[in-house]
Every structure is written in structure tokens, then in C-alpha cells.
Amino acid sequence: MASSKSLMDFLQPAKRLKLSSTPSDNSKPIQNVSLLSESLSTVADAELTSDQKQRIDFNKFLAKSKRNLKVCSQRVSKSKGEDVSYVKLEELLVEESWLEALPGELKKPYAKSLCEFVGKEICGGPAPIYPPQHLIFNALNSTPFDRVKAVIIGQDPYHGPGQAMGLSFSVPEGVKVPSSLDLGMK
């Protein structure tokens, strides 16, 4: 019988590889990141377990997700600095794999209409819009297209600011889970 693992087993940080300060083949020290990356991938292929390789992949995806979030946050901040009330939706989808999978989708008439509606609501609609602009495509920007196994589309009822984060059935760490999501988690 296979051993069961908890979610925390998958989220443990990967062990760091130690690089010797003097290369064993008496060549020049590694000077740039691409050479270091090639060197580590060679080590990874030869000496790492499949679990370690999975952790490396996970950490790469996590780093890319954080970069995408930073790009979106910067675009929203820049627009506020330029006295623009909102960033166009097509500028908030930054994950390359989704852009390749959905080329021009946000340019189609239905999407343009939706983008205009969301823009008007953000600029002065009667109700607040959740999640914040930089998190509108958080689910897509956090997950490469080829890693998606299923998509669940629905409306998450969030009752207050700071709860919605663009990911279904979740709230940011440190935020009390709203009653609409508290389904027997006590």
C-alpha cells in the first residue's frame, strides 16, 4: 500500500545543493546564471531523486508565479501614479503559457465588452470589486496552462475587503475564513 502524504509534505522547502568554491575540473569559476543553471541541471539529472526534481519544478513554478504577481502589482501601481483608475484586463494576464493558449481572446467582442464593464465598475461602480485589480487573473498567472488538470468556474461569495485573492475557496494567510467558505473546517 502506498504511503499517504499530507499537503505539508509537498510544501517543504527543497534541500540546497552545495557548490564547491573550486571547480573540480580546474576550469574558470561559473560566471553567469545560465552556466550555473546548466551545471545544476546536469547535477539534477545525474544525482537527484524524483522527489527532489519535483521540488525543483515546484520552486520554479512558485518563483514564476511570484514574478507574475509582481508584474501585475507594478502595472496597477504605475497606473495609479499616472492617474488612471484601472489597468485594462488584457494587461493583467501575464503568464506566457496562457497568452499562448488564448491568443487574442481578450481582443474578441465579448471580451472587450466584459473588459469595458469591469473597467467602469472599478472606476466608480456602486459596489467594491473583489479581488483587487492585480489579483484578477491570479489563478491563471499562478498556474501554467500545461499544468491545469481541471477548471472549476463559480462565484466565491466574499463579504469584505482583504478576503478575495483570485483563487477559489481561499483567503490570504492571516485572514479569517468567511462563513461562506467555512464548510465544516472547525
Three-state DSSP at 64 gives helix
Residue 139: phi, psi to the nearest 5? -60, -45
By 3-state DSSP, what share of the chain in percent is helix, strand and coil, each rounded to 5?
Answer: 50, 0, 50
What string of DSSP letters covers 166-186? SSTT---TTSPPPTTT-SS--
Q: How far apart are CA 116 and CA 129, in angstroms?
A: 14
Give yes or no: 146 in active site: no
Given a contact cutoff of 8 angstroms between Cβ atoms, the answer to whether 163 and 130 are in contact is yes
Measured CA angle at 146 (ends 140, 148), to 5 deg: 60
Residue 81: phi, psi to the nearest 5? -65, -25
Cell numbers that stand for 74 in this block: 507594478
- Catalytically annotated residue among 25, 45, 83, 156: 156
For the annotated catalytic residues, the residue numbers are 156
